[in-house]
Amino acid sequence: MRLVFSGISLMWIGIVMFLSLMNPTYSEVSLFPNSDKIVHFLMYGIMTTFFLSCLQLERGISQSVIFLTAIMAAIVFGGLMELAQEFLTTTNHASFWDFVASGVGAIVAALVYKRWLWKAIGQNFATSVVKQ
């Protein structure tokens, strides 16, 4: 199970990197102003959820350290992607508000995970370990 969550996390990081650094081939059409912030919120929220799922399965790490690590990893990665957009591409630019949306997505996802997923994933993993 750890390998599955690790693989999914790495795959998601790759997807976010690709989407962040690719040359946009579409015109700037959006449903409403700043709708891209919702995309940032969701992408980094999903990333944080994958990080938490992966870290939760490690033994000997406290819950608070797991949450802090997952949130900070997503926020730092979001900051690095904004810097990469600014300095490594000619078509994208860094945006402070994209960074904020990414960080808020990470924090909200962690709160949702703690409320509704922490116990379920922990119990399912404990059951699968006992069966082996």
Query: What are the pLDDT digits (tens) for 101-119?
Result: 999 999 999 999 999 988 8
Please determine, for residue 128, whether its predicted confidence score (pLDDT) is greater than 60.
Answer: no
Question: How many residues are listed for the chain in this entry?
Answer: 132
Contact call for residues 93 and 86 (beta carbons, < 8 A): yes
Integer Cα distance of 51 and 97 in angstroms: 23
> How much is the CA Rg of the chain, to the nearest whole Å?
16
Integer Cα distance of 93 and 123 in angstroms: 43
Please determine, for residue 122, whether its predicted confidence score (pLDDT) is greater than 50.
Answer: yes
pLDDT of residue 25: 61
Integer Cα distance of 102 and 14 in angstroms: 16
Query: What are the pLDDT digits (tens) for 39-77?
Result: 999 999 999 999 999 998 888 899 999 999 999 999 999
Q: Give the position of tokens 């995970």.
A: 113
pLDDT of residue 129: 47
